[in-house]
Amino acid sequence: MRVFELIAPCHFGLEAVLKREILDLGYEISSVEDGKVTFLGDWEAVCYANIFLRTTERILVKVGAFTARSFDELFEGTKALPWEQFLPEDGKFWVTKANSIKSKLFSPSDIQSIMKKAMVERMKQAYGRSTFPETGASYPVRVSLYKDVVTVCLDTSGESLHKRGYRKLTAKAPISETLAAALIMLTPWKEDRVFVDPFCGSGTFVIEAAMMAAHIAPGVNRNFQAESWTNLIDPEIWEDVREEARGMEQRDASTDIQGYDIDGEIIRAARENAKLAGVEHMIHFQQRPVSLMSHPKKYGFLITNPPYGERIGDKEELFSLYSELGKRFAALDSWSAYLITSYEDTERCMGRKADKNRKIYNGMMKTYFYQFLGPKPPKRQEKEIEA
């Protein structure tokens, strides 16, 4: 099978997590840049990446790259790409998204229009016809311009990969599934350790943790754009990869994962989402304020996305909430806490300086991932923690 450069976008600051995931799948990394990891793979790799990767937003197949400082150069560069190797005669093709940074060409609509015309001209030459019905499968194109270098890709995923298919009901300020998974993977949490989210909202953190514990591939129950590309990918490959993913599942895994929220309606929504994800039996949900958070076991993990102005507007109320969280965390025996928030007084409220602090963009909002590290359990006890 032909090998391509496959581009996997991710949240800024979390490239190392995605890189480790790709290496674990067995693929070679060709470059790591801000917000994306590029690796080498064939069409089978497209299937594996879409189904198994937890922390990328989509999988793009790089068609080509060239320099363009004028619209004429953009047209000719696009026309020179081998579109006929990807697009069938009846394929529907268009530039679904164009973004430009530090480049002379910056109008997305003009970039999209000119590239579409250039693609049509190339297809005319390749197929010897003047019009195209575009009645077949869809082949959306994504293009990025950075310092006048145009990178052109086919989007194999379609809907963003954060849409696992389980989150039908959401809280007002949910964290995305891909971001939640990446943040959990930044911690040393394993399925035999306690996991508590005292502000669980619609349940994203605890559901992602349970899916990891059960080895449920994040994309196993959803569809992808490239499944309709039968001219490029044999449908049996998709079936084989899904079958392999389902064979790895351990839905009877023993866990202690707990999600709390003060809002009873939100807890009901979280429980329904967990049911859709197939992990409801692995998570204990409860309507409970943070002031009542406690746990008898040692060496647990508190991982959460607390309110930071979205649901609570009063700064005094926010300070009180975070201070209560700090008190409850201090009362836990040998635990670690991980908080993603934009609230500037987090450390003061928690009563200590974070051991580590990482800047993360949650959507367009700049946040910080505060890491308050507890002691490691003695090695001889690590396997006995949950006994």
* pTM beyond cutoff 0.75: yes
Give the architecture (CATH level 2) of 4-155.
2-Layer Sandwich (3.30)
Answer whether 246's CB lies under 8 Å from 272's CB: no
Locate tokens 């399925």: which residue? 191
Supply the pLDDT for residue 24.
98
Confidence category of residue 43, pLDDT binned at 50, 70, 90 = very high
SS3 letters for 136-155?
CCEEEEEEEEECCEEEEEEE
Exposure string for 281-307, b = 16+ CB within 10 A, e = fewer: ebbebeebebeebebeebbbbbbbbbb
**What is the residue extent of each domain of the chain?**
4-155, 177-219+253-384
- pLDDT above 80: residue 315: no
Supply the pLDDT for residue 384.
55
Tokens standing for 377? 């359990």
Supply the pLDDT for residue 385.
54
Q: What is the mean pLDDT of residues 257-263?
A: 97
- pLDDT above 90: residue 262: yes
- pLDDT above 70: residue 230: yes
Supply the pLDDT for residue 174.
77
- pLDDT above 80: residue 380: no
- pLDDT above 60: residue 131: yes
The mean of the pLDDT values for the chain is: 94
Supply the pLDDT for residue 316.
78
Tokens standing for 312? 């609570």
| CATH code, 177-219+253-384 | 3.40.50.150
Phi, psi of 378 (to 5 degrees): -55, 140
Q: What is the mean pLDDT of residues 87-112?
A: 97
Residues 6+ apart with CB under 8 A from 142: 60, 95, 96, 97, 98, 152, 153, 154, 155
**Which is it for strands 257-261 and 336-341: parallel, antiparallel or unpaired?**
unpaired
Supply the pLDDT for residue 310.
54
Supply the pLDDT for residue 365.
85
Q: What is the mean pLDDT of residues 96-103?
A: 97
What is the rounded CA–CA span in Å between residue 136 and residue 141? Answer: 15
- pLDDT above 70: residue 114: yes
Matching fold, domains 4-155 and 177-219+253-384? no
DSSP-derived secondary structure letter, 282: G
Q: What is the mean pLDDT of residues 297-315?
A: 82
158 φ/ψ sector (left φ>0, alpha ψ -120 to 50, else beta): left
- pLDDT above 60: residue 163: yes
Tokens standing for 341? 């928030």
Confidence category of residue 172, pLDDT binned at 50, 70, 90 = low
Supply the pLDDT for residue 115.
98
Supply the pLDDT for residue 347.
97
What is the rounded CA–CA span in Å between residue 75 and residue 19? Answer: 34
What is the rounded CA–CA span in Å between residue 290 and residue 239? Answer: 44
- pLDDT above 60: residue 383: no
Answer whether 363's CB lies under 8 Å from 340's CB: no
Q: What is the pLDDT of residues 321-351, one digit of tens each?
A: 999 999 999 999 999 999 999 999 999 999 9
Supply the pLDDT for residue 189.
97
Going by C-alpha positions, the residue among 286, 291, 278 that lies closest to residue 260 is 286
The rounded percent of the chain whose pLDDT value lies above 70 is: 95
